[in-house]
Amino acid sequence: MIDDMLRTPEAIRDAERWTAHNYHPLPVVISSAEGSWLTDVDGRRYLDCLAGYSALNFGHRHPTLIAAAHAQLDRLTLTSRAFIHDQFADFCRELAELCGKDLVLPMNTGAEAVETGIKVARKWGYQVKGVAPGQANIVVAEGNFHGRTTTIVSFSTDADARADFGPYTPGFTVVPYGDLAALTAAIDENTVAVLIEPIQGEQGVVVPPEGYLPGVRRVCTEQNVLFIADEIQSGLGRTGQTFACDHEGVTPDMYLLGKALGGGIVPVSAVAANTDVLGVLRPGQHGSTFGGNPLACAVATEVVRLLATGEFQRRSTELGARLHAGLRSLVGKGLVAVRGRGLWAGLDIDPTLMSGREACERLAERGVLAKDTHGATIRLAPPLVITEEEIDHAVAQLAAVLAG
């Protein structure tokens, strides 16, 4: 097949011409997918080792989730929250039970879940803790990624995400990630919450020091501050447990969930907390037209049921061990460091060899898709349905790229 017969170049040119350049995608144009594999418009297959930043934990077009979506499409897709629909209570109950919480507030995107968590924490601070009006503050971590809304980028330390989007929203104190002493020192009488990722995904799958999360839990309890865990990327089986916090036996006051909750079919996010926290909201104070819609609930309920079996957590643990063993064998052979947990890994490439972007481009040429971040770091987050053979294939292709 000669180049002028390929559909990919024209599709890329059209995308460049007609869309704002808020992303810098790899030169691949996907047309179909199944399980862990993607096929482009020219028929070439790729092993997906990004899984939509964990939105596709259950793989592409998981049959149980597709069946739930088809069934719901034939009945009811949207009512708004002006009415109750027959999928709503089951979803909220089953997700609350999975989280060990009293209540769930469904939204759509991960950023909406974070914004909801911020609003709830502030209201809790004023109504329950007794913080003076307008004085609430939230402690966050350097290197965080919680979304790209105006409020969220106000406490980002990523220049690309933050620069030129001011004026910025006040009320946040940034401390080094993993530094419990700095976090403790930042808490004052007006602090209503600590908002952190149990593992920082966008930063390069950074796992905090052992004991950090239990320390955060202890300090928040002692200081009457809410512990908010952003498990949008790290949760729902990605790390080998239902939540990344589970690895250290920690239960936050509030879970922020998204991505995988929609099964890779529809955007679904949620905040889960007990009544003493989420109960501060009253009708008219927060909402979303599409939040908790029938289609979303039908799919997300099946996601929760898949997780309730424990199968995907076990797969992430067992296959993650194989992935990390393979990646560690490449340290000193082009890799400088490997981090992560379960089927989630951040790889630091020797910057004298190539950038993360170049590594991902070379991997794509070999039929493996991954994503770079922060210079010479790339992330691997394959679907939890990946096989041992597919993991070995991905590691072998990375080894070939590093060997030049």
pLDDT, tens only, 275-293: 999 999 999 999 999 999 9
Task: With beta carbons less than 8 A apart as the criterion, state whether 362 and 400 touch.
Answer: no
The pLDDT value recorded for residue 5 is 85
The pLDDT value recorded for residue 306 is 98
Q: Give the count of alpha carbons within 13 A of 252, CB side only.
A: 30
**Rounded mean pLDDT, 260-271:** 98
pTM of the model: 0.97
The pLDDT value recorded for residue 99 is 98
Least confident of 2-6, 80-84, 213-217, 328-332: 2-6
Higher pLDDT, residue 168 or 3:
168
Which DSSP letter does residue 165 get? Answer: -
**Rounded mean pLDDT, 314-318:** 98
The pLDDT value recorded for residue 33 is 98
The pLDDT value recorded for residue 4 is 63
- Specify whether the backbone of 323 is left (phi greater than 0), alpha (psi in -120 to 50) or beta: alpha
Q: How confident is the model at residue 1 (pLDDT cuts 50, 70, 90)?
A: very low
Q: Residue 358 contacts by C-beta under 8 Å, 6 or more apart in sequence?
A: none
Is 2's pLDDT higher than 60? no
CATH code for residues 76-308: 3.40.640.10
The pLDDT value recorded for residue 3 is 59
Domain boundaries, the chain: 3-61+311-403, 76-308
Which helix (H) or strand (E) covers residue 349, if one does? Answer: strand 345-349
What are 296-308's pLDDT values in tens digits? Answer: 999 999 999 999 9
pLDDT over 70, % of the chain: 99
What are 186-196's pLDDT values in tens digits? Answer: 999 999 999 99
Report the C-alpha gap between 191 and 378 in whole angstroms.
35
- Vertex 291 angle, CA 287 and 294, to 5°: 140
The CA–CA distances, whole Å, from 341 to 159, 199, 204, 306 equal: 27, 9, 12, 20
Report DSSP letters for 43-106, one per residue.
S-EEEESSHHHHTTTT-BT-HHHHHHHHHHHTT-----TTS--TTHHHHHHHHHHHHT-SEEEE
- Vertex 253 angle, CA 114 and 266, to 5°: 40
Which helix (H) or strand (E) covers residue 114, if one does? Answer: helix 110-124
- Which two structure tokens, joined as six digits, stand for 101? 């919480």
- Which two structure tokens, joined as six digits, stand for 187? 């808490």
Is 398's pLDDT higher than 80? yes
**Rounded mean pLDDT, 120-134:** 98
- Which two structure tokens, joined as six digits, stand for 90? 């089951």
Q: What are the residue numbers of the active site? A: 145, 230, 259
We find that the CATH architecture of domain 3-61+311-403 is: Alpha-Beta Complex (3.90)
User: Residue 159 class from Cβ within 10 Å (0-12 exposed, 13-18 middle, 19+ buried)?
Assistant: exposed
**Rounded mean pLDDT, 311-318:** 98
Q: How confident is the model at residue 124 (pLDDT cuts 50, 70, 90)?
A: very high
Mean pLDDT for all residues in the chain: 97
The pLDDT value recorded for residue 121 is 99
The CA–CA distances, whole Å, from 112 to 107, 130, 150, 361 equal: 6, 26, 12, 32
